[in-house]
Amino acid sequence: MATRINKYLSEVGYCSRRVADRLIKQGKVTINGQIPEIGTKIEEGDQVEVKGQIIQKSMKEKNIYLAFNKPVGIVCTTDRRLEPDNVIDFINYPKRIFPIGRLDKPSEGLIFLTNDGDIVNKILRARNNHEKEYIVCVNRHINSDFIQSMSNGVEILDTITKNCFVKQLGPKKFKIILTQGLNRQIRRMCESLGYRVRSLKRVRIMNIKLDVPTGKYREFTKEELLELNELLINSSKTYD
């Protein structure tokens, strides 16, 4: 059965579909020696190469799911050439994996890494309302007006953020649960209200909680993976 080239590359664990599309646009993918278009399908027996490396179905291995506590200063990218502080070199996992989503360089906390391209596409779709929980410290005292404003939505990036759960934990500390994934969303929300983020830590993604020391990772438990798949069961994929 014919398979889209981006889906094929995610199924064999080479990269996510999004990254595959980027590689195709850059002309780094060939099918039988020809550069394909995005959406091109491959058949059994076709030879797929990425950057001159032959990609075979036999490359497919058991799916890997890691929960990693990213330190401040590490960048969530697979570009090891251009970013020396990348997450892949830091973890130094023996098999090919890639991060699901991003956690910016000044932030710390939970991020998933996997070789399963399909789960990446499901989790990244913001419309699926998947919860992400953060603990944030800002530069000055917060009050009920700040909590209410953050909860009800703040104007950033030419849009109003979705309503969200916010709870004050201390004079300058709060918890926030988002179902959106706007670029540097929490930092921008705080800045729009006259605050500056001093520290930001993600402590939960959906049903997976952060429970490993900074710089360490662990595999998902069978129970966590089962529950995660149940939460994703109604999630639509990015591609058909």
Residue-range domains of the chain with CATH: 3-59 (3.10.290.10), 65-124+210-232 (3.30.70.580), 131-205 (3.30.70.1560)
Separation between Cα atoms, residue 57 and residue 183, nearest integer Å: 35
Asked whether the beta carbons of 107 and 202 are under 8 A apart, the reply is yes
Separation between Cα atoms, residue 217 and residue 39, nearest integer Å: 35
Residues β-bridged to residue 31 = 34, 48
How far CA 1 is from CA of 47, 62, 107, 173, in Å, comes to 15, 22, 43, 54
Least confident of 95-104, 138-147, 151-160, 213-222: 95-104
21 is catalytic: no
Whether 238 has a pLDDT exceeding 70, the answer reads: no
Beta pairing, strands 108-114 & 155-156: unpaired
CA-based nearest residue to 76, from 37, 55, 105:
105
What's the average model confidence in pLDDT over 206-235? 89
- Please tell me which residue in 104, 116, 118, 158 is annotated as part of the active site: 104
CA-based nearest residue to 183, from 209, 157, 213, 145:
157
pTM for the full predicted model: 0.74
DSSP summary character for residue 146: H
For helices 17-25 and 117-124, what crossing angle results, to 10°?
100
pLDDT tens, position by position, 21-58: 999 999 999 999 999 999 999 888 888 999 888 886 54
Whether 234 has a pLDDT exceeding 90, the answer reads: no
pLDDT tens, position by position, 174-194: 999 999 888 999 999 999 999
Neighbour count for residue 236 (Cβ, 10 Å): 11
pLDDT score at 70: 98
What's the average model confidence in pLDDT over 198-221? 96
pLDDT tens, position by position, 72-90: 999 998 888 889 999 999 9
Asked whether the beta carbons of 167 and 156 are under 8 A apart, the reply is no
Residues β-bridged to residue 137 = 173, 199
Q: What does the radius of gyration of the chain's CA atoms come to, in whole angstroms?
A: 20
